[in-house]
Structure 1
């Protein structure tokens, strides 16, 4: 059956009249004639809401760039790049696309760059590649941090043995749906709204810009984003006792969440990226790496806003975990949380630097982190080794094997259901672009970073909820 999507269909999901709408319709006519309409609308809604996620998509890259590209500075006003790029270490080199390498090569030519590294799940992003780690001298790059500021993983391990999970699917599913909310623009109203001390953070009142965002932050507090964000029940296995976490060998029920700072972070990112581009005029190929001097008022404003977004993202996870822990009547044995899409002040080779981890997990010596696979592949609870060549970092997941366009065009709903059934995973929401087959082999990614982290435990997803793609939640 041929696709009959029109401009009015796209207007209903957030598109506006103009160049972007026409470009989207042309792409649909050329590449998606036979694609299921519901799947297609779900895909183009994601492009509208998360264009950065489609910059490595051969078909949709042009549309994504058109949505987020800003006017480029005049060449006469540009800051020159360093002629010879600084060297950097690449982990899992054979699994990394050329686009990510090219972006990292440009980042290593910034006059403020001190060091860099590419993680084994790296792929092309916007500005700094996803999986890119960049250390700079007293400068911060808004697109080196990313749009979803402070995006993170959070894991709660419960006092519930594995055997007590099975047979209670209906209860776990009911509570998962009741206490989570997903997708761009989605939030809570009235008495549903959560309360948290982050709403009293004085940073909200530091600038009129942040004060204006307080209402949006309150309504979305305790919700999750779209794209690859999720809340899932699973089983975590400790092959031996872990003294640090004080958890015995065994298999336990656990809750794993992945999301970020929602509309608050996205608005901050957009505002300060534009500001950085106005103040820091770089050559066209490096324009999206525009940086702010941390000694400037603008740099300090962004630093405060970025940290506020990080605290807010953490609060969202805390609320989700508290609500679901109470709903199932469990006790938390241990909780681990780590974030990416952030910048830290750290010491490297005896000097203070600003370390940007765009889709990379902090892995300093002894630092705990979670590296997920896919909705059917295992994730891993890890402890960092503090490897200097990786700038104390590791991957933040498996990384995509195929673009979102390729996924919805080559994977069928029945194939996705079959692999979910084979792994005993219940899925609520999500589109074909998030199918397990669209991701790299997490075992290969982990094998490429044995020098960076030690595996503490393995997490197996059992019930996954993601942003609704239009399918029914039953």
Structure 2
């Protein structure tokens, strides 16, 4: 039966929103009258209902679906006609799409303040690099899919020459003690106390992901996630790390909450969109009132996912530290794709969303990475209020993944890695350094936001290889 091949993704491609409309459409197509309808005809019919729902309101079969597309002024939440003022850092090289998304976010009736970081680029709902403070509400897509994604750096008491002397050994350690993507997991994952948290028993969507969370503990995601050895250069004596000025072997990881965070984001975004209908351009900014049951449930789930992401990094660094046979001198960890309860300068309590933005409160330490051929920076926040005490979370993309694959050749990437002395295990053209903005320009636009304490320059990088584990570009 042809219609059985239809999936929610097919409907989303013709403009159906996630949630009740998609569920209704798929359910109705199971009616015996429609069993023999082929896929193309079914999609054409669903497009007609969406385009002209009034024509189907008297049709007993399609009435409930048609109602989903009839505007309901009593339900829809209106945006303000005016864009609240917000600060933009490095505006000259922030793409129009990111700026327009942030403008839309600044029209929400719950919005109190906002800022756009210099690494900003277009995403879903809130742009990556967007910081949004709202009143007693949380926006699941303002947090994002990879809840609590973070950076973690370990500084070891070994000199940089260790990288040249033990290159093959360090590559082998990454192979043996890291896992990437959807298919790679440890045969005997660590049992962390995070897995005993009550949220896994009390929140249905979280409960359904506990087994996956057990298996994925200590692993990293795909895309721009990595674990890499490199050179840490501490340049500031008063660095709050307790590490003297000099160069050291460093281990840097970037990853998030894996399937757990994605499931939470998808579920509560659907809930928010059903409870808070917004105009099409703002629909992914739907929020949950923190006074509601759903809002409180999401808040607990979000914090669990953030803590789970941290536990994964701790396991990565623990495994590699043990394999290396060295204890780190210092560690730095910071996260983004999260929401915090904070107090604004005028005394108002706010929920501050940092989607791809780093907390940069007074004295707060963090790491802002560049790319696999560009340095990252160890920073200390300056507590700048105009940026809502935030900074960039990286260099930021200047090419989408599709554009990078189209514009960068394998030969170009191979030559660049060789010239820069980078060993890459895994990875692909979508993560080529050419796809990213100049990290030095990004840092120049946030001098008021952070102080630089040192840098990290990658040398041996491991990323997801799409399941193959081998690199075309110079690694194993």
Instruction: Tell me whether the two structures share a fold, i.e. TM-score over 0.5.
Output: yes
Change (3 A) 1:23 1:196: closer
**What is the match of residue 268 of structure 1?**
264
1:232 match: secondary structure = strand
**What is the match of residue 180 of structure 2?**
182
Change (3 A) 1:227 1:234: same
Deviating more after overlay: 260-269 vs 204-213: 204-213
For residue 406 of structure 1, report the CA deviation from its aligned partner: 1.9
CA contact (8 A) 2:336 2:358 kept: yes
**What is the match of residue 36 of structure 2?**
none
Distance in 2 (CA, whole Å) between partners of 1:334 and 1:145 is: 29
Unaligned residue ranges in structure 1 (runs of 5+): 1-15, 25-70
**What is the match of residue 373 of structure 2?**
376
Distance in 2 (CA, whole Å) between partners of 1:114 and 1:451 is: 22
Asked if 1:279 is matched to 2:275, the reply is: yes
CA contact (8 A) 1:366 1:385 kept: yes
Equivalent residues, number: 411
For residue 270 of structure 1, report the CA deviation from its aligned partner: 0.3
Distance in 1 (CA, whole Å) between partners of 2:441 and 2:245 is: 25
Aligned equivalent of 1:458, options 455, 458, 466: 455
1:383 match: secondary structure = strand
Deviating more after overlay: 153-162 vs 238-247: 238-247
For residues 153-172 of structure 1, what are the alpha-carbon distances to aligned partners after superposition, in whole Å with 9 as ceiling and x for unaligned?
00000111112232201110
Change (3 A) 1:416 1:17: farther
CA contact (8 A) 1:185 1:263 kept: no
CA contact (8 A) 1:122 1:131 kept: yes
Asked if 1:298 is matched to 2:298, the reply is: no
**What is the match of residue 253 of structure 2?**
257
**What is the match of residue 231 of structure 2?**
235
For residue 17 of structure 1, report the CA deviation from its aligned partner: 6.5
Q: Output aligned runs, 1:303-382, within 5 Å.
A: 303-348=299-344, 349-382=346-379
Aligned equivalent of 1:410, options 396, 407, 411: 407
For residue 185 of structure 1, report the CA deviation from its aligned partner: 4.7
For residues 379-406 of structure 1, what are the alpha-carbon distances to aligned partners after superposition, in whole Å with 9 as ceiling and x for unaligned?
0000000000000000000011212222
CA contact (8 A) 1:85 1:105 kept: yes
**What is the match of residue 172 of structure 1?**
170
Computed over aligned residues only, the root mean square deviation of the Cα atoms, in angstroms, reads 1.8
For residues 289-344 of structure 1, what are the alpha-carbon distances to aligned partners after superposition, in whole Å with 9 as ceiling and x for unaligned?
00000000000000000000000000000000000011011121100000000000
Aligned equivalent of 1:208, options 204, 207, 224: 204
CA contact (8 A) 2:132 2:354 kept: yes
**What is the match of residue 123 of structure 1?**
121
1:389 match: secondary structure = coil
Distance in 2 (CA, whole Å) between partners of 1:411 and 1:72 is: 42
Change (3 A) 1:73 1:23: closer
2:441 match: secondary structure = helix
For residue 193 of structure 1, report the CA deviation from its aligned partner: 1.4
Distance in 2 (CA, whole Å) between partners of 1:241 and 1:165 is: 24
Asked if 1:431 is matched to 2:428, the reply is: yes
2:278 match: secondary structure = coil
Unaligned residue ranges in structure 2 (runs of 5+): 14-67
Distance in 2 (CA, whole Å) between partners of 1:261 and 1:85 is: 33
Q: Output aligned runs, 1:39-54, within 5 Å.
A: none
Change (3 A) 1:406 1:263: same
Change (3 A) 1:173 1:21: farther
2:157 match: secondary structure = strand
Distance in 1 (CA, whole Å) between partners of 2:422 and 2:285 is: 40
CA contact (8 A) 2:336 2:359 kept: yes
Deviating more after overlay: 280-289 vs 237-246: 237-246
For residue 184 of structure 1, report the CA deviation from its aligned partner: 2.7
For residue 245 of structure 1, report the CA deviation from its aligned partner: 1.0
Aligned equivalent of 1:445, options 416, 439, 442: 442
Asked if 1:193 is matched to 2:217, the reply is: no
CA contact (8 A) 1:73 1:281 kept: no
Change (3 A) 1:243 1:94: closer
CA contact (8 A) 2:378 2:452 kept: yes
Asked if 1:145 is matched to 2:143, the reply is: yes
For residue 206 of structure 1, report the CA deviation from its aligned partner: 2.1
For residue 18 of structure 1, report the CA deviation from its aligned partner: 6.4
Distance in 2 (CA, whole Å) between partners of 1:393 and 1:20 is: 35
**What is the match of residue 419 of structure 1?**
416
TM-score by length of 1: 0.84
Distance in 2 (CA, whole Å) between partners of 1:459 and 1:353 is: 34
TM-score by length of 2: 0.84
